[in-house]
Amino acid sequence: MRYRFLGDVRVGAVGLGAMPLSIEGRPDEARALATVHAALDAGVTLLDTADSYHLPGAEPGHNELLVARALAAYGGDPDDVLVATKGGRGRPADGSWTVTGSPRHLKAAAEASLKRLGVETIGLYQLHKPDPRVPFEESVGALRELLDEGKIRLAGVSNTDVEQIRTAHRILGDRLVAVQNQYSPAVRGSEAELRLCAELGLAFLPWSPLGGISRSSLDGPSRMTGEVRFGAFHTVAEERGVSPQQVCLAWLSAQAPTVVPIPGASRPETIRDSAAAADLVLDATELARLDASVTTAR
């Protein structure tokens, strides 16, 4: 697998979004653990989780605990894997996604994540979403305090706009290494944020990266169902003898050298297929066809 960087940490060019292993439609634990192990076997070294990845109304941290169990059962050097978690969101019984970005909450959430992950320092800790009720600088300030205390090694922000990324970069400096926003063939609203990350040298982690090619896990269990409006992805896939999902991830990686897609998976075979995209290099003609397909579908 080819590699990319989050700060000074080298990771596989495709990560694993572990959310589908813990929310609605999740697999049983045996298959969930097998999915994480398949990712590791395939060279994936970035595992993305969050304290809010659990069933509605359930105790926070199901996904973090699952990732911790998977790593413990797998063996090997834990330093070879970067576990990225997030704080600042919740899932009450009605299934909604709440936002709480106060420094007090974020620091308490990070402490709880430390315990669930069974580590002394979280590899990458991300503000899950800006809280409109809390000044953004205060939320990012909590990340700075966690960095200063050695509770987290690296910091990131998620679901942020250009101005917020610039603010976080000003406050955290080179300890801000990643931005996680939704981006896919179907959802390209974070184009400016992706370009800014490339300019600043920040990793851009597209969540739900297969939108338009596969359903998002936020919409229910992931399925391999492509849409006709992105037919070029399927045509290129057929020509290459690979899946449309691999072509999609390779296209994303080609958008900038700082892009690290984090596709979700709930089956070993799915993440093995996604991980293979790290070694798929599309030529200029193929990329132009895919770009035209995306532009036409807007």
- Strands (DSSP E) found in the chain: 3-6, 9-12, 16-17, 46-48, 82-87, 89-90, 98-99, 122-127, 152-158, 176-180, 203-204
Catalytic site residue from 53, 74, 125, 183: 53
Q: Which residues pair with 125 in a beta bridge?
A: 85, 155
CA distance 298 to 293: 9
Q: Is 183 a catalytic residue?
A: no
What is the phi-psi region of residue 208: left when phi exceeds 0, alpha when psi lies from -120 to 50, beta otherwise?
left
Whole-Å CA distances, 117 to 5, 89, 110, 244: 22, 18, 10, 34
Bridge-based pairing state of the strands 9-12 and 3-6? antiparallel
User: What is the gyration radius of the CA atoms in the chain, in angstroms?
Assistant: 18
CA distance 174 to 9: 12
Active site residues per annotation: 53
